[in-house]
Amino acid sequence: MTKKRLVPWLLLLLACSVPQNASAESPPRGGPPIRVLFIGNSYTYCNDLPGMLARLAAAGGIRAETAMAAVGGWTLAAHAASVQTLQTIHGTPWNYVVLQEQSEVPAIERARVGSMYPAVRSLVQAIAAAGGTPLLFLTWGHREGLPGEGCMDFESMQRELAKGYTRIAQELEVGVAPVGTAWQQARKQQPQTNLWEADGSHPNIQGSYLAACVLYATMFKTSPVALSYIAGLPNERARVLQSIAEEVVLNKRTR
């Protein structure tokens, strides 16, 4: 393994053990910063998604400060029961708090009703009490689906994930960042597109960058197309992902 390839894996291993309050901050651009807290797990900290969002915002002339409460494998129920997560929510005046559930829970009816929904209700209440705006992070399906729960491929799992997030979002009248929908659109446009790491679950750089573009468009109500920050991706590839985020979020394309 070359040194160049070793560094990202070392960073990922370190990220697995960092404290919950790891943070990233965009360069100051004047005016008050937009503060964003991410609550989730490895889907959030892989490739430093909060940092990607901050750098996209900086490229768009928006000063953003991001932080995360993210522990590998954690559910939102674990966060709702965590004193540290709740202290983090109340410790800073966040503009947005992004809620990312464990990858499989929203796709399983009994799990989302019994675990996810009570946790989201509790966390949304805490976020509102702290003066923030909650935003649900609709994640992507596994590359091979979730066969043990009847989701035989990515598409069927994605439908269940969308159903799981949409129902609680409608109940609580909170926003959704449709990241998984954008993954679905990317695969529809270019079936050879790979957004996953080798495990078929976690995002590669392209997957995280597409997620960041969707979050940018959702929060700031503006297109990420032509932003200069491209996360080291080929320029043409980054522009495609930026355009997909624009289509899904701002043009409301759902499939």
Task: Report the percentage of the chain scoring pLDDT > 90.
Answer: 85
Question: pLDDT digits over 186-240, tens only?
Answer: 999 999 999 999 999 999 999 999 999 999 999 999 999 999 999 999 999 999 9
Alpha-carbon distance 214 to 248, whole Å?
8
Please say if the pLDDT value at position 20 is more than 70. no
At 91, is the pLDDT very low, low, confident or very high (cuts 50, 70, 90)? Answer: very high
Q: Name residue, tokens 């799992």.
A: 157
Question: Two tokens at 214?
Answer: 């969707």
240, 219 contact by CB (below 8 A): no
Question: pLDDT digits over 95-110, tens only?
Answer: 999 999 999 999 999 9
Alpha-carbon distance 215 to 179, whole Å?
8
Alpha-carbon distance 186 to 184, whole Å?
5
Query: Residues 6 or more apart from 202 whose CB is under 8 A from it?
Result: 42, 43, 46, 196
DSSP state of 221: S
- Amino acid letter for position 73: G
The highest-level CATH class for domain 31-250 is: alpha beta
Please state the pTM of the whole predicted model.
0.89
Q: What is the mean pLDDT of residues 158-162?
A: 98
Please say if the pLDDT value at position 5 is more than 90. no
Strand, helix or coil at 157?
Answer: helix
Please say if the pLDDT value at position 244 is more than 50. yes
Please say if the pLDDT value at position 1 is more than 90. no
**pLDDT for 255:** 52
Q: Work out the burial of residue 221: count CB atoms within 10 Å of its CB; fewer than 13 is exposed, 13-18 middle, 19 or more buried.
A: exposed
Of the candidates 131, 124, 126, the one whose C-alpha atom is nearest the C-alpha of residue 99 is: 124
**pLDDT for 30:** 60
* Averaged pLDDT of the chain: 90
**pLDDT for 49:** 98
Query: Residues 6 or more apart from 50 whose CB is under 8 A from it?
Result: 23, 24, 36, 38, 44, 66, 67, 68
At 32, is the pLDDT very low, low, confident or very high (cuts 50, 70, 90)? Answer: confident
Please say if the pLDDT value at position 29 is more than 90. no
Please say if the pLDDT value at position 129 is more than 90. yes
